[in-house]
Structure 1
Amino acid sequence: MQASEQVQVLQDLIKIRSTNGNEVAVARYLQQLLAAHGIDSQVDEFGDRRANLTAKVGQGTDNRVLGLTGHMDTVAVTDPDSWQHDPFGAEIVDDRVYGRGAADMKSGLAAQVLALIELKEAGQLPTGTVKLIATAGEELGTPGAFRLAKQGAADDLAALVVGEPTGGNVIFAHSGSLNYEVTSIGKAAHSSAPERGINAISGLVKFIEAENKLFSDAPVDPYLGHVQHSVTVIKGGHQVNTIPASAKLQGNIRPTAACDNQEVARRLHHAIDLINHQSSYHLELNIFMDYHPISTDPQSSFVQAALTAAQENFPHPVKTDIINGATDASVFTVDHPDLPVIVLGSDAWQLAHQTDEYTTIPSFLATVKTYQQIVTNFFN
């Protein structure tokens, strides 16, 4: 395919509105594109216009399977009037393609699909198998990845490439992500006699004070560093002259391999139990999202071969690095903790979810070539 045709594929994907849903439209587009180049794929719809897509290419004489994965959804556009470029217009200005998902991560997904097409068209199918895994809902709850994992999509993988935006850098480790909610149960009273009640908001304050120090002695991960943690949402009270009987907060923690999800949960439970035991407040903890960190030896042949491929194709210097963000790999590695994983895609992680999100055409085209080279090198 000509470069202009490859860019057109990216523009087509950006124009499909798949904000927190409607992945079926993206999946059907990709299915037709792959079919036009002789590649069969399967679309698994699971209601409410959600869908996953999988495809395989390769000779199969080498029994190894390399996975390429990307998600088809994007985050929402909350304030379209603040955009200078139509979020779904896929407008090209200079060397940039603008639109929601241009960076995160329709550029990576398009590049993965195009890499398979290019290998097929060039008669360079690998001796093993490359499995494309396009998921639904990565931005909100990862229902697609969980469904695929349950179906065994990752069971035969020898390694996995995630196409999130990295600016061509090879990410060999990323943190997990754990979301929790703390409910404080108090006792209502008139604000003129606060001693007759138990202020549920004050119970949350106790927890916030404890949370601030909760990981001060946590082990520092050699790659991911300190555990990142924040209280991000708080709700409580309904009337200004009434002591609130209930209040809630939510927080996010980024576990590492050195301080993993189990240890994070243990510390949270311990903090809650201590407050309940030592005060009149009653707090309840609910962990409602629990994604694990990933870590691959940066000196491994898989990481180093990917770095070489990126260095030979990207128009700017690239390196190995880490990010404090989760991907679908957190789901796929739950039952396969030793699965080698890298994250590599077009343009910078910092462009994701931003107003006037964009990817650059040179980086996008370099990503296509880099994926091709990773596939070829993996089986050689």
Structure 2
Amino acid sequence: MGVSVMETATKIDVLRQLVAINSVNGNELAVANYLKKLFDAAEIQCDVFPAGIDRANLVAEIGSGSPVLAVSGHMDVVAAERRDWHSAPFTLTIEGDRLIGRGACDMKSGLAALVIAMIELKEAGTPLHGTVRLLATFGEEFAEKGAAALTAAGYMRDVTALMIAEPSGYRICYGQAGSIDITLTAKGRAAHSSMPNLGSNAVDQLLSVLYQIKQRVQVVAAGAYNQTLNTDTLFNIDVFHGGEQVNTIPDLAQAQVNMRTIPEVSNDALIQVFTDTIDEFNRQHQSHIKFKIEMSLEPIVGDPHSKMIQLIQKIALPYYQRAQFSPKEAQQNDQIAQALGLPANRQAIPTMGAAGGTDARRFLVDHPIGADYSVFGPGNLTAHQGDEYVSQAMYLDFINIYEALFPAYLAAK
């Protein structure tokens, strides 16, 4: 099945080369340059767009004209602490069916599968009634800046469908929660802790205002729940710094808050809670608290009945039905099927939303609801963990799936 041109060993080596490039929150230019060599060898149109020191996006295309199917993967990975790994994280290690390494799951296997599928389709001379456009991004793990740059440059304007090869495994995701990152800073006045009245406690003030903000966010979001994303509005205080020593009233404190958002409660409404609460608190307590919006991305909910999702169900279902899963993976699959009201007999690939995020929140900024959008890529739930891995069989199967899926989407009426 598929239009295989590369040997299996070569496909594994592509992933090995990608994992070997340490692209922890940077160095994506090296990844892009490696991918460009592969595309150049196959005579596929490809451009690398540097973006600061050692960072870059990449765009490659096969076919021509409309419709345009955009497929995407990010080139950065998260940090890897050696003590959390049984093997070197930036060396692809093979243990049975497992390909182990940082990014093997999230998401260099998905990126490699997209690239190999495009190369094999080109070299096999497969007719394409439209364009397949790869958008390989930098900085997805932190603020999705690469996707924002490609969107601003116009690479989404003529796109009719977007598929991101994040590690969904045999699940189709068509929605992600939004996200807001906010930094709050309180400035007070230092004093000896035996004479607190001579100072102004920045930690105390920041804790108080954070408590008020959290309470008011809960009121604004009360009763709102999104079934597709399977979540309500989430409010988390993830970082807090304040004080220098135990016998001194702190004159500075800082906190960072992350919220996961849903269409029912807008980002603007939540940000307004911060504005109103902090303004009121400053007036009442003569405090000096400010906040800065580091990132605000709206939630994305695509069309669960889109052409792409229907084709994924048709083309990928036989692979799903014969896939071999570990007992833990099988249990997770059954739990997800049960939560979605599906029988645990693999008669359909689960289709769902998720609270996590992807580059789609930047790519679909002008079309957040109802787009032909899907997340479908090789992987599992080991992303961001030590001993992260992807199934070799799944990795190779997804290459075959993409090689059938891309022409089918462009040919479908």
- Distance apart, 1:88 and its partner CA: 1.0
Deviates most, 212-221 or 189-198:
212-221
CA shift in 2, pair 1:238/1:220, >3 Å:
same
Distance in 1 between residues matched to 2:238 and 2:107, nearest whole Å: 25
1:36 and 2:67 are equivalent in the alignment: no
1:17: which partner in 2?
22
CA spacing shift, 1:120–1:292, aligned 2, 3 Å: same
The superposition leaves residues 233-271 of structure 1 with CA deviations (integer Å, 9 ceiling, x where unpaired) of: 101111221111121100111111222322221222223
Which of 283, 289, 293 matches 1:277? 283
Q: Once the 2 structures are TM-superposed, how far is the Cα of residue 143 of structure 1 from its aligned partner?
A: 2.9
Query: Greater CA deviation, 63-72 or 297-306?
Result: 297-306
Paired residues, what number?
A: 376
2:156 is aligned to: 154
* Distance in 2, Cα, partners of 1:23 & 1:216: 39
CA contact (8 A) 2:164 2:374 kept: yes
Specify the alignment match of 2:255 in structure 1.
249
For the pair 1:208 / 2:210, whether they are aligned, the reply is yes
Equivalent residue, structure 2, for 1:233: 239
The residue aligned with 1:358 is: 389
- What's the counterpart of residue 67 of structure 2? 64
- Of the structure 1 ranges 177-186 and 120-129, higher mean CA displacement relative to structure 2 is found in 120-129
Determine the C-alpha separation between the residues in 2 that align with 1:23 and 1:166.
Answer: 22
Q: Which amino acid aligns with 1:69?
A: S
Is the partner of 1:213 in helix, strand or coil? helix
- Partner AA of 2:282 in structure 1: N
- The answer to whether the 8 A contact 1:307-1:319 is kept is no
Match of 1:345 in 2: 377
Q: Taking structure 1 as reference, are residues 213 and 367 closer, same or farther at Cα in structure 2, changes over 3 Å only? A: farther
**How far apart are residue 320 of structure 1 and its match?**
0.7
Look up the match of 1:324: 355
Instruction: Give the Cα separation in 2 of the matches to 1:155 and 1:369.
Output: 28
| Per-residue Cα deviation, 1:139-167 (whole angstroms, up to 9, x for no partner) | 12333222212211111111101111111
- In structure 1, what is the Cα distance between the partners aligned to 2:179 and 2:316? 27
Change (3 A) 1:274 1:309: farther
Letter in structure 2 aligned against 1:369: N
* Higher mean C-alpha displacement, 187-196 vs 248-257: 187-196
Q: Give the corresponding residue for 1:121.
A: 123
Post-superposition offset of 1:213? 2.6
- Alignment partner, residue 50 of structure 1: 55
Q: Deviations over 1:4-37 (max 9, x none)?
A: 3212211111111211111121111111112222
**Shift of residue 215 of structure 1?**
3.4
Q: Which amino acid aligns with 1:360?
A: S
How far is 1:134 from its partner? 0.6
* Moved >4 Å (runs of 4+): none
SS in 2 for 1:44: strand
Q: What secondary structure sits across from 2:292 in the alignment?
A: strand
Q: Is 1:26 the equivalent of 2:31?
A: yes
- Which amino acid letter does the alignment assign opposite residue 302 of structure 1? M
TM-score after normalising by structure 1: 0.94
Q: Which residue of structure 2 lines up, in the alignment, with residue 175 of structure 1?
A: 177
Structure 1 range deviating more: 331-340 or 67-76 = 331-340
Assess, with a 3 A threshold, how the Cα gap between structure 1 residues 125 and 51 changes in structure 2: closer, same or farther: farther
Q: Aligned partners of 1:360 and 1:325: how far apart in 2?
A: 22
Classify the secondary structure of the residue corresponding to 1:112: helix
Indicate the larger mover: 112-121 or 101-110: 112-121
Q: Distance in 2 between matches of 1:157 and 1:245?
A: 51
User: Quick one: distance in 2 between partners of 1:42 and 1:252?
Assistant: 35
Deviations 1:347-375 (A, max 9, x none): 22x31111111111111112212222331
Contact 2:307 2:409 in 1 (8 A): no
Q: Which moved more, 1:97-106 or 1:140-149?
A: 140-149
Of the three residues 97, 100, 107, the one matched with 1:105 is: 107
Q: What is the percentage of aligned positions where both structures have the same residue?
A: 39
SS for the counterpart of 1:215 is: helix
Partner of residue 90, structure 1: 92
What do the CA deviations read for 1:96-115 (whole angstroms, capped 9, x no partner)?
Answer: 11111111110110011111
SS in 2 for 1:139: coil
How far apart are residue 90 of structure 1 and its match? 0.4
Partner in structure 2 of residue 371 of structure 1: 402
8 Å contact kept, 1:70–1:108: yes
Q: 295, 307, 310: which one pairs with 2:316?
A: 310
Coordinate RMSD, CA, aligned: 1.8
Q: CA deviation at 1:280?
A: 4.1
Q: Structure 2 CA distance, aligned partners of 1:378 and 1:18?
A: 32
Structure 1 unmatched ranges of 5 or more: none
1:168–1:363 Cα contact (<8 Å) kept: no
Task: Report deviation, 1:171.
Answer: 0.4
**1: distance between equivalents of 2:400 and 2:270?**
40
